[in-house]
Structure 1
Amino acid sequence: MRNAGVWVGLVLLLFSGTMFFSSLSLEYRGSIGPGPGLFPLWLSGLLILLSVLYIIESFIKKEVEVSDILPKGKALRRVLLFVGSFLFFLLIVPFTGFCVAGIAMLSLMFMQAYKWYVGMAISTVVTLVFFVVFAVLLKIPLPVNSFGW
């Protein structure tokens, strides 16, 4: 069972089935019309149908192996660097706050493409812009350190 299409279809089927059964707990009809369960129920039901059709199509058409679509070499290192830096961000953000963790994560990602000081400058500007937009303008609470950033 090395057919990548079948595995993707099974993951989509599992996801859509979970969403379908979760949407059953929501109210289908509200007092003035459709309730909060209408859209997720129909959307996840459609996704179940499409994922089953995709699994069937993957069996019928030419088989694509999982090893053919996975990145290799430099691309694999970049994917692993992205995942690792994101996990690093998740681990340190409760302690350091959004700004410090964001700068650290983006700096790790930009080290591959830019000189260290250019990557640090870009990551600082991007993180501060996101902080101003979300925390200051939109008033969305972000994790902060003892200095408030």
Structure 2
Amino acid sequence: MKNLGIYLSLFFLLLGVIVFSQSFTMGYYSEYGPGPGLLPLWTGGLIILLSLFYLWFSIKKEIILFAKVMPKGEGFINVLTCMGSLILFMIIVPFTGFLIGSSITLLLLFKRGYKWPWAIGLSVTVSFVVFGLFDVLLQVPLPVNEFGW
């Protein structure tokens, strides 16, 4: 079976069942009106219905092959670079802090499309701008190293 639609619909069916079943651990009503379980219950039910419909549709009519969807050549390398840099960021940010971790990650991404000086400058600039926006302006704490950055 190489039909991607079947796998995606089964994944979302499982996700819907998990959301739907977990919604029963929260109250459907509260003393003031709808409770915290209302939205997950209806969302999970809707996900289940839509995924069952898509499962039927992908079995009967639409066949999407893995080979048609997966990128090849340079596009596949770009996807691997993005996924690898995201995983690297999650691993190194607790140790290096946000500024250094995001600069390294963005450098890996930017070096594929820019020359080295531009890639370094852009990665450091974007990291500082994002850190300034979140830490100073929005006052959202970001992971920092022992130096505070």
Short-chain TM bin: over 0.9
Match of 1:114 in 2: 114
For 1:44 and 1:132, the matched residues in 2 are separated by 38
Paired residues for 1:117-132 under 5 Å: 117-132=117-132
| RMSD between aligned residues | 0.9
Q: Which moved more, 1:42-51 or 1:15-24?
A: 15-24
Structure 1 segments (4+ residues) deviating >3 Å:
none
Which structure 1 residue ranges, 5 or more long, are not aligned?
none
Q: Deviations over 1:93-125 (max 9, x none)?
A: 011000000000011001110011111111111
Deviation at 1:24, TM superposition (A): 1.3
Paired residues for 1:1-149 under 5 Å: 1-149=1-149
Partner SS, residue 107 of structure 1:
helix
Deviation at 1:147, TM superposition (A): 1.1
Q: Which moved more, 1:97-106 or 1:120-129?
A: 120-129
For 1:34 and 1:81, the matched residues in 2 are separated by 44
For 1:116 and 1:44, the matched residues in 2 are separated by 47
Deviation at 1:67, TM superposition (A): 1.6
Of all paired residues, the percent bearing the same amino acid is: 43
For 2:107 and 2:130, the matched residues in 1 are separated by 15
TM-score, structure 1 as length reference: 0.96
Q: Which moved more, 1:128-137 or 1:3-12?
A: 128-137
| Alignment length (residue pairs) | 149
